[in-house]
A and B are shown apart, each in its own frame.
Chain A
Amino acid sequence: MSDIISIGIIFLAALTHAFLQLGLGSLLLLYHASLGKHVQEKTKTLVSSFISGFGMIVLLAVAASCFIIYSVFDGHSLPVELLSALIGIIFAVAIIMWAFYYRRGKTTELWIPKTIARFISSRARVTNSNTEAFSLGLLACFAEFPLSFALVVIAANSILELNIVERNIALVGYILITILPLVIARFCIRRGKTVVDIQRWREKNKTFLRIISGILFLVLGTFLIAYRLIGIPL
């Protein structure tokens, strides 16, 4: 039963992480810049490298969190005090999602520092090699770390509660769910959709995405309180 709770937490954390928008926005910027100057084949490899970079930093972040928790707490789970603090952060991020994350108006701009947004935009414009695209993926994921940090640590804590085989499956599952929106965008563009189509969809459904993101953070926080802090039996 404890495994089911752990898997539920990992799934919820990954799904919540997948709803963060900086990765998808950066991918669209890269697509737009690259399609304007390269042939489609080159763009495809650049985008694949971007997704690999994004997935790699998620893998490293979750694996490093697992290692730190395992080492610091001698193979035990996070203490209740730390878990409570993380739950607090998750509720705070839920409010940020609703109130600040998306800028007001008819735009998909995010409430990230302008300098970071400009730096990512300029890097996307000059990205010509797979290494640069890979690095851009790393950067896009890393730039959103203040919001995804708590999710990664919570997921790592739950991964450690599984057996060794399940740990690897859960880690791969977390990464796959997190990069799913990027893979879907790549697939859509491959099937003939343009950056404009995806961007218009994002703009049209901005409120929906905002509400869902906030709700997912709230649900995860409540789930953690119910099954980890209070310890309601399943």
Chain B
Amino acid sequence: MKEVVFSKDNLEKEILKDAKSINLAPGFAATISKKVSNAVEHKVNKLSTITNNDLERIVTAELKKYSADLAYIYHNRDKII
């Protein structure tokens, strides 16, 4: 398991890119990215260390609350081939 450093800005950018790729409305995408990155930051701050898998699991769970498609593409972005 690889330990990662969480960056709220990077996560927001990643979510916005994923949202754009599945044609989500820009306003909705911006709202989701802000809400999700805030929630993820809140959860991550409670942990002493975090791995790539932990972060992916937390982000996917948060994204699922707003858009199943966005959660799916985030979760599978490195698992297409």
Contact = CB atoms under 8 A, between A and B. Distances in A.
Contacts of A110: 81
Contacts, number: 58
A179 B46 CA distance: 50
A28 B69 contact: no
Given A107-B76, A200-B72, A31 B81 contact: no
Interface string B47-81: 00000000000000000000001001100111111
B18 interface: yes
B81 A120 contact: yes
B79 A195 contact: no
Given A32-B73, A196-B73, A117 B21 contact: no
Q: Which DSSP category, helix, strand, loop or mixed, fits chain A's interface?
A: helix
Question: For this complex, into which size category does the number of interface residues on chain A fall?
Answer: 20 to 34
A35 B72 contact: no
Given A194-B69, A196-B69, A196-B72, A36 B18 contact: yes
A26 B23 CA distance: 20
B17 A36 contact: yes
Interface in A102-121: 107-110, 112, 117, 120-121
A31 B78 contact: no
B20 A36 contact: yes
B21 A121 contact: no
Contacts of A159: none
A31 B76 contact: no
B1 interface: no
